């Protein structure tokens, strides 16, 4: 895909979100709406390809938002950027099934590396930033992988759309 027409996402895992993965929480519902609005906005600016790191929480919300957009616009594509084979092996059964369903509905799957290493998530995040011109970040201001990805995107010159996680 052409980098200028691609958007990556970074955000917190379900366990790091204030509602701890309870998707019926009004804050989660509001975040999902803001993610969809951001996805739709970048699409309307000319972006048609989206990259998702396929983690729990924000990544899955983003992936589902892109699927919703794709129902309306046939030129939308989404790529699952998988940090390593077996990413979901230690997740609970319901989350694993959701992950597998999302992966199967993606247009492309890129496995960044075969086995887990301590830096594989960072390598996945850099892959996404290196292949995008826009980064949507659902972020609460705390240090961690999301902050590192945002800082790398800034250094790489990406446009960043930040969504506050409250």
Strands (E), the chain: 6-11, 49-52, 77-84, 108-113, 134-139, 159-164
Strands, E assignment, 12-158? 49-52, 77-84, 108-113, 134-139
Closest of 66, 86, 85, 58 to residue 145, by C-alpha: 58
Residue ranges covered by each domain of the chain: 3-164
Number of Cβ atoms within 10 Å of the Cβ of 78: 24
* Average pLDDT score over the chain: 96
Residue 157: partners with Cβ closer than 8 Å, 6 or more residues away: none
Rounded-to-integer distance, Cα 87 and Cα 164, Å: 26
Measured CA to CA, the distance from residue 56 to residue 6 in angstroms comes to 21
128 vs 53, 72, 117, 135, CA distance in Å? Answer: 8, 24, 18, 9
Q: Region 1-19: what's the mean pLDDT? A: 91
Q: Tens digits of per-residue pLDDT, 34-80?
A: 999 999 999 999 999 999 999 999 999 999 999 999 999 999 999 99
Whether the pLDDT of residue 2 is over 90: the answer is no
What mean pLDDT do residues 123-150 have? 96
Which whole number is the average pLDDT over 88-113? 97
Confidence class for position 166, pLDDT limits 50, 70, 90: confident
User: Does the domain spanning 3-164 belong to CATH 3.40.50.450?
Assistant: yes
DSSP state of 19: T
State residue 123's pLDDT score.
Answer: 98
Which pLDDT belongs to residue 98?
98
Positive or negative CA dihedral for 79, 148, 142, 136? negative
Q: What is the mean pLDDT of residues 22-32?
A: 96
| pLDDT recorded at residue 1 | 64
The pLDDT value recorded for residue 23 is 96
pLDDT surpasses 90 at 21: no
């Amino acid at each position: 895909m052409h980098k200028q027409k691609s958007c990556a996402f970074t955000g917190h895992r379900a366990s790091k979100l204030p509602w701890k993965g309870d998707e019926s929480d009004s804050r989660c519902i509001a975040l999902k709406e803001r993610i969809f609005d951001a996805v739709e906005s970048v699409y309307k600016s000319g972006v048609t390809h989206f990259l998702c790191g396929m983690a729990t929480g924000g990544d899955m919300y983003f992936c589902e938002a892109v699927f919703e957009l794709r129902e309306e616009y046939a030129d939308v594509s989404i790529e699952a950027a998988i940090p390593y084979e077996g990413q979901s092996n230690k997740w609970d059964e319901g989350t694993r099934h959701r992950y597998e369903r999302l992966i199967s509905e993606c247009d492309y799957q890129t496995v960044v590396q075969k086995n887990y290493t301590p830096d594989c998530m960072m390598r996945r995040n850099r892959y996404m930033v290196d292949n995008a011109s826009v980064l949507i970040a659902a972020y609460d201001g705390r240090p961690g992988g999301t902050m590192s990805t945002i800082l790398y995107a800034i250094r790489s010159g990406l446009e960043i759309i930040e969504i506050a996680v409250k």
